Amino acid sequence: MIRASLIGRTLGLLLVLLVTPPAAEAQPVGKVARLGLLGLFTPELGARSVAAVREGLGELGWHEGQNVQFVQRYASGKRDQLATLAAELVQQKVDVIVTFGTDATRAARGVTSSIPIVMGAAADPIGSGFVTNLARPGGNVTGTSLLNTELIGKQLQLLKEVTPRASRIGVISLGGMPHDRSMKEADAAAPHHVLKLHRIVLREPLTLNDLAPQLRMARVDAVLGLPNPALDDVRIRIVEIVNAQRLPSVFALTYWAEAGGLMSYSADLYALQRRAATFVDKILHGAKPGDLPVEQPTKFELIINLKTAKALGLTIPQTLLLRADQVSE
């Protein structure tokens, strides 16, 4: 009887093992993944971006304090500190680094060729030299791309729709920054809309004292703001100065329109950063970053600030309002 009982228990155990599905591949039991987060922004400005990554990871089963630890480093607009902060993440022996923006990606890539780097929306991965091919990046960098440069023509078109008589556009950029490709794209697109461009160069440290005089001297009819994380922290002041000159504006990121700019047209930044979590998940499960194709945006957002339009005495065409994804009043 004892032998029969033992045989029965053994058969039962074998049946359980046969019918129970194997557990999903994951980090070894008890191991907590260390995820580095690196950005040029301040913690306050980057909160929504970080939240997007957290939410994306949560949907995939990664929860802070349980199986993942976040090691965060933000430069608060000080570009020269990014390399040091990136090196700190390497010293912390993180498993993956998520970078927010082109500057952060460049800094991380400069300090490690072995730790996987996931771009949380970089502007131009190929042009910046981060990857050799979007479909098969190679190396240790992958993630999502913003397509900022490719949207400049559309942004100029929007300015022309709002101000049909505009002929001279001021392009706000930061001195010493590699905006050559962006400016080339803008220069190429401008003639199609019968526009001439005048570069408005801001210098660091950013006092912005010369912005209004530059706009007046250039006699521009409207303003195009090129994307630059170093300007994000002073975006409210820049927008105030532009609006005080009664100039229509379009910017490359959503939160500039939210700060008071007339319009923004861009890829959905936070959707791309949320999507970056899928790359982290795959890498933590053993995928190589060089084998994961860089993803480009499929959703674009036009935001119009009607409060600013009213203050500028502008009437936004109904056809444009109907195309807007968000109209703030």
Distance in Å from the first CA to the final CA of the chain: 82
pLDDT at 180: 65
pLDDT at 99: 98
- CATH of residue 132: 3.40.50.2300
Instruction: Judge whether 248 lies within some domain.
Output: yes
Q: Quick one: 221 and 163 in the same domain? A: yes
d(CA 249, CA 312): 11
Angle at 297 between CA 293 and CA 302, to 5 degrees: 170
Instruction: Judge whether 20 lies within some domain.
Output: no
Instruction: Judge whether 47 lies within some domain.
Output: yes
Q: Quick one: 141 and 286 in the same domain? A: yes
Q: Quick one: 277 and 136 in the same domain? A: yes
d(CA 307, CA 51): 28
pLDDT at 226: 86
Domain of residue 245: give its range. Answer: 149-268+301-328
Q: Quick one: 172 and 307 in the same domain? A: yes
d(CA 69, CA 114): 20
pLDDT at 30: 60
pLDDT at 279: 98
pLDDT at 185: 86
DSSP state of 64: B
pLDDT at 144: 97
Contact 260, 305 (CB under 8 A): yes
pLDDT at 177: 56
Instruction: Judge whether 289 lies within some domain.
Output: yes
- How many independent structural domains does the chain possess? 2
Q: Quick one: 43 and 119 in the same domain? A: yes
Instruction: Judge whether 224 lies within some domain.
Output: yes
Q: Quick one: 273 and 165 in the same domain? A: no
Instruction: Judge whether 92 lies within some domain.
Output: yes
Q: Which two tokens stand for residue 191?
A: 């003639």
Q: Quick one: 118 and 192 in the same domain? A: no
Q: Quick one: 64 and 142 in the same domain? A: yes
Instruction: Judge whether 318 lies within some domain.
Output: yes
Q: Quick one: 319 and 180 in the same domain? A: yes
> pTM of the predicted model, to two decimals?
0.84
Q: Quick one: 209 and 76 in the same domain? A: no
Q: Quick one: 104 and 225 in the same domain? A: no
Q: How many residues does the chain have?
A: 329
Spell out the per-residue pLDDT of the chain, length 329, in tens: 434 443 444 444 333 333 333 333 444 556 899 999 999 999 998 999 999 999 999 999 999 999 999 999 999 988 899 999 999 999 999 999 999 999 999 999 999 999 999 999 988 898 889 999 999 999 999 999 987 778 999 999 999 999 999 999 999 988 765 556 788 888 999 999 999 999 999 987 788 999 999 999 999 999 999 888 788 889 999 999 999 999 999 999 999 999 999 999 999 999 999 999 999 999 999 999 999 999 999 889 999 999 999 999 999 999 999 999 999 88
Q: Quick one: 264 and 276 in the same domain? A: no
Instruction: Judge whether 28 lies within some domain.
Output: no
Place of tokens 């049946």: 15
Q: Output the DSSP codes for 172-221.
A: EEETTS--HHHHHHHHHHGGGGT-EEEEEEE-SS---TTHHHHHHHHT-S
